[in-house]
Structures are given as C-alpha cells and as structure tokens.
Copies of this chain bind each other. A is one copy, B any other.
Amino acid sequence: MTPDDVRYDDRGLVPAVVQQHDTGEVLMVAWMTRETLAETLARGETVFWSRRRGKRWHKGETSGNTQRVVSVVADCDADVVLVAVDQGGDGVACHTGVRSCFHRPVTPG
C-alpha cells in the first residue's frame, strides 16, 4: 500500500510506532499526516506532525538524533504504522535525553 491507502483519523493523523530495527526496542510513538508519511518514505528519515506545535517535525533536525528508516508496515486495518529505524546520533530518541520514551512504569497504585 501507499500513504494514500492509510486510514487517517478525523484530524488527518495516524499513530506511528517507532522501533529500533535490530533490537526490537520501541523508541517512541508520534503522529504522521499523509504528507509526512510520504516524506518519511522519500527521505528515508522519520518526519512527524507535532500536534502541540501544529507543524511538520523532521526528527533530529536540530538535535542530530535522526532516525534512518528501514521499513514501514501498516496494521491489518491500516490505521497505525510501524516504522523500523536505525536510531542515529547519540542513539537517543526521547527529548528527555534517554534512549526510549518508554521509561515510566505504570502500576495498579
């Protein structure tokens, strides 16, 4: 399928799960529009849509922590994409300076 075949939500967004291609580590989840998904494929680096800033976001453009795209696969109903990458730069995906954004355990409390 192509970016045109992906199902975007009513804001025109699709969740993108970003995974380190060789270790399987889930690095982050962000959002893409049809345009930033197409740019991700064309550029070979992840490009997202920042909901907070309301603009296109080429990951690593300022930090240097770009993500080289290895593959993009949609799920069965085409409303989520899984992006296998090689996390470059210092190997840091999270803006807090750690490798993965997923570092806050959730417990029953």
Contact = CB atoms under 8 A, between A and B. Distances in A.
Interface residues of A, number: 42
Interface in A7-38: 15, 17, 19, 23-26, 28-29, 37-38
Copies in the complex: 2
A61 interface: no
A101 B38 CA distance: 21
B3 A109 contact: yes
A3 B105 CA distance: 10
B104 A26 contact: no
Interface of A: 1-6, 15, 17, 19, 23-26, 28-29, 37-38, 41-42, 71-78, 80-82, 94-96, 101-109
